[in-house]
Amino acid sequence: MSNGFSKNLGTPEERKSFFILSLRRLLLVLIDAVSVNLAFAGICAMNYPWDEFVTQIVPALIGRSLYTALVFVCTYMFFGLYNSLWEYAGLHELVRCAGASAVATFITIGIDSMADRLAFLDAQVLRVSVYFTAVLLITAVVGSVRLIYRVLRRVSKARADSLLLRNRKNKRVMIIGAGDMGLLILKEYEAKSFANGKPVVFVDDSPMKRGRHVEGVPIKGTCEDIPELAKKFRINEIIYAIPSASPQRRSEILRLAMETGCTLKTSLSIQEITEKNANETTVRDVEITDLLARPEVTLNTEICSYLKGQTVVVTGGGGSIGSEICTQVARYSPEKVIIFDNYENNAFVLKNKLDRKYKGKVQFFIRIGSVQDPARLKEVFEEFKPSVVFHAAAHKHVPLMEDSPCEAVKNNIFGTYNTAQAAIDSKVKKFVILSTDKAVNPTNVMGATKRVTELIIQYFERKNTGTHFAAVRFGNVLGSNGSVIPIFKEQIALGGPVTVTHKDITRYFMTIPEAAQLVVQAGGIAKGGEIFVLDMGEPVSITSLAEKLITLSGYKPYEDIKIEFTGLRPGEKLYEELTLSEEETQMQLTCNDKIFVLPPVDFSSEQLEAGLENLKKVDRLNVRETLLSLVPNFKSEE
C-alpha cells in the first residue's frame, strides 16, 4: 500500500542514489575523525619525550579523541566540505579545508583549556607548536584523502570511457587549435563521457605548444600536418577551434582538413555562442560560407547612428535578406521597426524572435500587404510615419521571371515606384532599395526590371522631394531563398546528382548577414541619388562550390555524388558584372572600404516616364521590347 512517506522518498532510483550518497558521506566523516586524531598523535610523538608521550599525552589524547573528532567534523560540515563534488576537487576546496581546520583547531584549544581546568578525562593543553603544526598536517591529510578520491574516480571514469568508446566505436577527433576554445571543446566532449567522440590529438601552429599536452591530449604538429596526422591517429572528425584566425587562414586550414575525408566541424563564433542557450554545444558543422576567404564585415557604429530613435520600414521584411536587415537595424536602437510583407508566416516568426531578444527596447510591428497596392502602402506609411525605408521586396528568381515577365514588371518596377511615392508623401528621410549585379548589362527580365528600379530612385532624387534615395547593388547571397546552396543540399540529401548549368559558370557571393550589414551602412552614407556597389570579392566557381559542398556532406564528388552540367537556363549569364563600363571609371571608395559609390548615369526623365506608362499596358508578347526601350543594354534571348 502506498503512503505519503514512500512518495516523499521519490523513485527507487532516487532512493538508491540517496542511500549511496549518505553512505559515502558517512565513510568520509569516519575517515576524517580517525585522520584528525592520528594527526594529533603523530605530532605529539614528535614534540614530546617518549616517556612523557606514553604516560601523559596518550591518555590525554584518548580522553579528548571524541570531542576533537566532533569539533572537526562539525566544522567541516559548517564549511560545506561534505557537500562538494570531490571528483572535481581543486585549489578552492583545499583552501576551504585549510580554513576549516584552522577554525576547528582554535575551538579545540578552547575546549582543551576548559577540560584541563576541570580535570576532565585527563585532558591537558598541548604545546603551541603542536596546535600550529596540527593545522598544516590535518589539512594535508584530509585534503589528500579527497584528492586521492578524485584520482581514483578519474581513473575509473577513464576506464569506463575507454570501454564505452570500444563498445560504441565512437569517433576519434582531432582539434585544430590548442587554445582556450580548443580546451573548452575538449571539456565539453569529456563532460558528455565522449559520447560524441574522443579527442585524441591537437594541432597548433605555435612552436611553444608543440610536444605538450592539454588535459592529457598531445599537441602534435602544425596545421600543415593535418592530412598526415589524420592518417596516423585514425581520425574520423576534425574540429576547427581558432576563432581568432583571419577568414583567409581559416579557409586555408579547412581546405587542408577537407583533404582528409573526415567529418568537419567548427567552433561557434563569440556572437553565435552568446545567442545559444548555455546547454547547447559549442561546435557546429562546417558550412560552405566558412570556406569563403572573405574578411569579416564590421559595422561602423557612428555611420549607423542615423537609425537611433527612428521608425524604420522594411518591405519584404519577412524574406531571407529583409529579415536580416530588420535584425541588423534593431542593433542600433530604432524606436520602431515595421516588417512589411505579403507572406505572414515568416514575418510572424521574425517578430517573435526579435521581441524575445529586445524585450520591448525596440518595438516591432507586422503589417501584411503588397508593394503593388499603393493604397495599402499609403495606409501603413500614414500609420507609422517612418523616417527610413529599406525596400527589399522583389521577385528575384531569374528563370521564374523569364516565365512570368509581366509579374516581374508589376512587383519590381511598379512595386518600387509605389513604395517610393508613398515615402515621398510621408516625408521619409532616407529610402534605400536593394539592387543586383544582374542589373548590369542584363540578359534576363529580372535584371532589366532591377535596372529600371535604379533609374526610378535617381528619377525621384532629381525631383528634390526631401527624401534621399539610394540603391545598393550586390551579387548572390549565400543561403537566401532560391540560392544554389539550399538546392545543392537538397540534391545531395537525395543522393544526387547535383546539377550545375555550366562547368565554367561563376558568381559573386556574400553571406546574408554581410549583405544586410553593408546595406544598413550604405543607408548611413547615402546623400541622395547614389548607386552603391558592395565589394563582393572574387567570383566563385559554381562547380567548385558544388564539389566543396559534396565533400562537406561526407561524399566524394563525381564518385559518390555525380555532378551534371545541364546547360545555361533562359536569361542566365556565364558570369556577372558589378558595374557598367561607363560607371567603372568613375567609381569611388566611400568611408567604408567594402562599399563603393557610382555616379548617376545620365538618362532622360521624360523617356523614363513614357516607358513606365508603356509598361503599365504590356503583355507577355511586348514586355521585353518595352523594357529594351528603357534599358538599351538589355540582351534578351526572345
CB atoms within 10 A of CB 162: 12
Nearest to 145 by CA among 89, 99, 103, 91: 89
Q: Could you confirm whether 359 is annotated as catalytic?
A: no
> Of 265, 396, 430, 438, which residue is the catalytic one?
438
Q: Do 17 and 115 form a contact (C-beta atoms < 8 A)?
A: no
Secondary structure (DSSP) of 369-398: --TT-HHHHHHHHHHH--SEEEE------H
Q: Residue 452 CA to chain centroid, in angstroms?
A: 38
- Dump strand ranges (E) for 247-317: 263-267, 283-285, 311-315
Q: Are strands 172-176 and 237-240 parallel, antiparallel or unpaired?
A: parallel
CA distances from 527 to 431, 440, 516, 591 (A): 11, 23, 19, 13
Distance CA(488)–CA(496), nearest Å, equals 9
Helix axes 445-462, 415-425, angle to 10 degrees: 20
Whole-angstrom distance, CA of residue 262 vs CA of residue 239: 10
Q: Element (H or E) spanning 430, and its range?
A: strand 430-436
First-to-final CA distance of the chain: 86
Number of C-beta neighbours around residue 181 at 10 A: 24
DSSP code string of 476-524: EEETSTT-HHHHHHHHHHTT-PEEES-TT-EE-EEEHHHHHHHHHHHHH
Q: Report the C-alpha gap between 369 and 541 in whole angstroms.
A: 38
CA distance 204 to 471: 45
Dist CA 274 CA 420 (whole Å): 38
Q: 538546392: which residue's cell?
A: 487
Angle at 187 between CA 181 and CA 188, to 5 degrees: 90
Match 524585450 to its residue by C-alpha cell. 359
Asked if 240 contacts 267 with a C-beta cutoff of 8 angstroms, the reply is: yes
Neighbours of 472 (CB within 10 A): 24
Catalytic residues: 438
